[in-house]
């Protein structure tokens, strides 16, 4: 993790927020400053980063390559000449994700217990912007950010591989309500979600 030690030489002044850790709310102990300039106790920051990865606990700034807790799996894609609703001038991309069942790690809700894997399919328009989003999603997958282990609201079971917070279109049609197309803001929306995690076009 990339953070910097800062000498803690100034005396603590009650109510002086700049001398208090934003996590424990006590005087900074072995002060650590992130690139966003927020400061924390060393122990508080290490604990927070263990849970969230390289994200500032205060402002969510990504200060290093962010790695998630997605279990091992694979991502592949094919292309179809059929067009999606709202994208009549091109074909579409079919993304297939496969995450086998396995055992949870210390970063998952129930370490040492088994989890059920999943296979998911998602769709993008096969145009310039859609292919750009495909590359970003591949990068997110490689950084283990597409899936996590948790409770599935869809089937009401625990210890399941579920989507993280990166939007996917899992239906060819039906619009926003059916997680499908047309949805003219989707590509821009998912790029913003990925940018929050430090993944953007170079």
List of domains in the chain: 4-52 (3.30.40.10), 74-196 (3.30.390.130)
Per-residue tens of pLDDT for the chain, all 202 residues: 444 444 443 434 444 466 888 889 899 888 888 878 888 898 898 888 777 767 788 887 776 667 889 999 999 999 999 999 999 999 999 999 999 999 999 989 999 999 999 999 999 999 999 999 999 999 999 999 999 999 998 888 999 999 999 999 999 999 999 999 999 999 999 999 999 888 988 7
- CA distances (Å), 106 to each of 23, 54, 149, in order? 22, 17, 11
Terminal CA-CA length for the chain: 22
Helix, strand, coil abundance in the chain, percent, nearest 5: 20, 25, 50
Give the C-alpha separation, 77 to 168, whole Å.
14
Do you know the residue count of the chain? 202
pLDDT of residue 164: 94
Q: Are 166 and 176 in contact (CB under 8 A)?
A: no
> Which phi and psi angles does 125 have, rounded to 5°?
-70, 145
Number of H helices, E strands in the chain: 3, 10
pTM: 0.72
């Amino acid at each position: 993790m990339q953070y910097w030690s800062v000498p803690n030489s100034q005396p603590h002044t009650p109510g002086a927020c700049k001398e208090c850790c934003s996590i424990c709310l006590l005087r900074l102990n072995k002060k650590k400053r992130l690139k966003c300039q927020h400061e924390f106790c060393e122990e508080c920051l290490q604990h927070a980063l263990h849970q969230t990865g390289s994200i500032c606990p205060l402002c969510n700034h990504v200060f290093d390559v962010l790695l998630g807790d997605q279990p091992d799996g694979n991502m592949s894609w094919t292309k179809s000449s059929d067009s999606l609703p709202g994208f009549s001038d091109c074909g579409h991309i079919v993304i297939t994700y496969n995450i086998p069942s396995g055992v949870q790690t210390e970063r998952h809700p129930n370490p040492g217990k088994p989890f059920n894997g999943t296979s998911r399919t998602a769709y993008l328009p096969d145009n310039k912007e859609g292919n750009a989003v495909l590359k970003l999603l591949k990068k997110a997958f490689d950084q283990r950010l597409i899936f996590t282990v948790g409770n599935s609201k869809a089937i009401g079971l625990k210890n399941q591989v579920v989507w993280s917070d990166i939007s996917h279109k899992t239906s060819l049609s039906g619009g926003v309500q059916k997680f499908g197309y047309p949805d003219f803001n989707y590509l821009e929306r998912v790029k913003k979600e990925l940018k929050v995690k430090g993944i953007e076009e170079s």
